[in-house]
């Protein structure tokens, strides 16, 4: 298995990022210039600009008049067109080498934060694949040339189009814009061609739910390239909506209003953050209640599961404190003593664990494990509240301790599969 993070470090959004950082840099040098609408704002952009200023002083300075003189677009024009004009002016003033230096600062700082946060979150990748690599190695052009060879592209309005409708898509897709810039779609073609050339039997793409329309076009260009589209499985993940109680937390990347994964981890803890993301199907909406995730109550599912594990640990600590004996080898001979209705229910629940793990793996559905652990924990808490384990009858004590040890092991195994801890005290 090879896990790869696809880094979008090429294309128009990256040029907007570079412009946003540079304007903040100029503002730090007291240049009276405003950040264009639809550029990126927020403290993280200012922090990157401060680092550039500290390490480069006035190397990238330009006065306001110099900047405006390069603009061929007026502010009352279409804002997206104006934004592109600002980027072009920046590139002319600084030159492409300096433009790339500022962009590199932005990419490196943001990517470093992402890598650090994911590592602390227990998510590590074998490779961080740069989209820019597709251009640098000529793979993007290779993908376009292969589509041309198969007769599935055409030119219209000075742009290059893929005949996506021939392969089930709702409309044809632009590969290269009229200005010569390749689209994200062209990068998708090149990247998937690269992955297929690696010889993998199965490729799993994880997309945001807003990319639902990509499924048909990706399978379409794979067919056009002569590749088996069934090798690629596309999982759609809904965005999480954060709440504090009943109040929705507003978030927007460009406006800089968002809660980072780091902030989320620090506020609710790694385990709660991971579990709340895992407990829903990827394609289901997730309303993440920050207050619930921090609560130590039965309503908080991860607390409830971990508390079941901690309770079992406490029983064995009491066993030692009371200096009672427990004969593990004696227990299997007395399994018939487990005759309470809740014990039979727990036995049935335990028997479902192995097939459930297989189902979760085949369906790429870890939420099955999360739901199972909730059920097991709920049944155990009912058992704990209604039953004594450290009884005088040694045979009954042995088999009940044997039984809850098995429950403890399954909870621990399940939590471990989900990347969660199994605390012994809570």
Q: Taking the complete model, does pTM exceed 0.85, yes or no?
A: no
| Residue 247, pLDDT score | 79
Cross-strand bridge partners of residue 174: 161
Name the residue ranges covered by the structural domains of the chain: 4-129, 132-237, 240-294, 301-417
Q: Which residues pair with 147 in a beta bridge?
A: none
Query: Nearest-CA neighbor of 276 among 297, 258, 303?
Result: 303
Q: Is 419 left (phi over 0), alpha (psi -120 to 50) or beta?
A: left
* pLDDT value of position 77: 65
pLDDT of residue 41: 86
User: Which residues fall within 8 angstroms of residue 61, CB to CB, at 6 or more apart?
Assistant: 26, 29, 31
CA distance 5 to 134: 14
Per-10-residue mean pLDDT of the chain, 426 residues long, equals 92 93 95 88 92 96 80 65 88 95 96 91 93 94 94 94 93 92 92 93 90 88 92 89 78 61 86 91 83 86 96 97 94 96 97 97 95 97 96 96 98 97 95
Homologous superfamily in CATH for domain 301-417: Isoleucyl-tRNA Synthetase; Domain 1 (1.10.730.10)
**Cα 7 to Cα 113: distance, rounded to the nearest angstrom:** 13
In this prediction, residue 71 carries a pLDDT of 67
Do residues 364 and 205 lie in contact, with contact meaning Cβ atoms separated by under 8 Å? Answer: no
* Rounded Cα distance, 326 and 80, in Å: 73
Task: Give the pLDDT score at 255.
Answer: 53
DSSP string, 331-381: GGGGGGG--SHHHHHHHHHHHTHHHHHHHHHHTT-THHHHHHHHHHHHHHH
């Amino acid at each position: 298995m090879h896990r790869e993070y696809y880094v979008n470090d090429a294309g128009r959004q990256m040029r907007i990022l570079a412009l946003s950082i540079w304007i903040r840099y100029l503002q730090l040098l007291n240049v009276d210039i405003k950040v264009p609408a639809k550029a990126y704002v927020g403290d993280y952009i200012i922090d990157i600009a401060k680092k550039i200023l500290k390490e480069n002083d006035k190397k990238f300075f330009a006065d306001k008049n110099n900047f405006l003189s390069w603009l061929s677009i007026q502010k009352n024009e279409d804002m997206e067109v104006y934004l592109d004009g600002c980027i072009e002016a920046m590139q002319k003033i600084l030159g492409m080498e300096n433009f790339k230096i500022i962009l590199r600062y932005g990419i490196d700082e943001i990517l470093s934060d992402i890598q650090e946060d994911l590592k602390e979150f227990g998510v590590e990748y074998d490779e961080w694949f740069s989209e820019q690599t597709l251009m640098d190695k000529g793979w993007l052009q290779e993908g376009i040339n292969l589509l041309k060879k198969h007769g599935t592209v055409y030119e219209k309005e000075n742009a290059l189009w893929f005949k996506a409708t021939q392969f089930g898509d709702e409309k044809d897709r632009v590969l290269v814009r009229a200005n010569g810039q390749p689209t994200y779609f062209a990068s998708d073609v090149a990247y998937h061609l690269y992955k297929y050339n690696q010889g993998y039997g199965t490729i799993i793409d994880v997309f945001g739910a807003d990319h639902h329309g990509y499924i048909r076009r990706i399978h379409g260009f794979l067919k056009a390239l002569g590749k088996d589209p069934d090798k690629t499985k596309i999982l759609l993940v809904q965005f999480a909506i954060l709440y504090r109680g009943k109040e929705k937390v507003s978030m927007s990347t460009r406006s800089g209003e968002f809660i980072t994964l780091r902030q989320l981890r620090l506020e609710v803890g790694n385990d709660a953050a991971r579990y709340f993301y895992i407990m829903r199907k990827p394609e289901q909406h997730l309303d993440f209640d920050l207050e619930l995730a921090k609560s130590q109550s039965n309503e908080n599912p991860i607390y409830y599961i971990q508390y079941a594990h901690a309770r079992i640990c406490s029983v064995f600590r009491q066993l030692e404190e009371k200096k009672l004996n427990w004969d593990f080898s004696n227990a299997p001979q007395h399994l018939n003593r487990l005759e309470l209705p809740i014990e039979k229910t727990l036995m049935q629940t335990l028997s479902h664990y192995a097939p459930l793990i297989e189902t979760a793996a085949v369906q790429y559905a870890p939420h099955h494990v999360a739901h199972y652990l909730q059920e097991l924990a709920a049944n155990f808490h009912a058992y704990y509240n209604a039953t004594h384990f450290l009884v005088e009858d040694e045979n009954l004590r042995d088999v009940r301790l044997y039984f809850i040890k098995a429950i403890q092991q399954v909870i621990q195994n399940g939590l471990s599969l989900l990347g969660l801890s199994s605390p012994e005290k809570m």
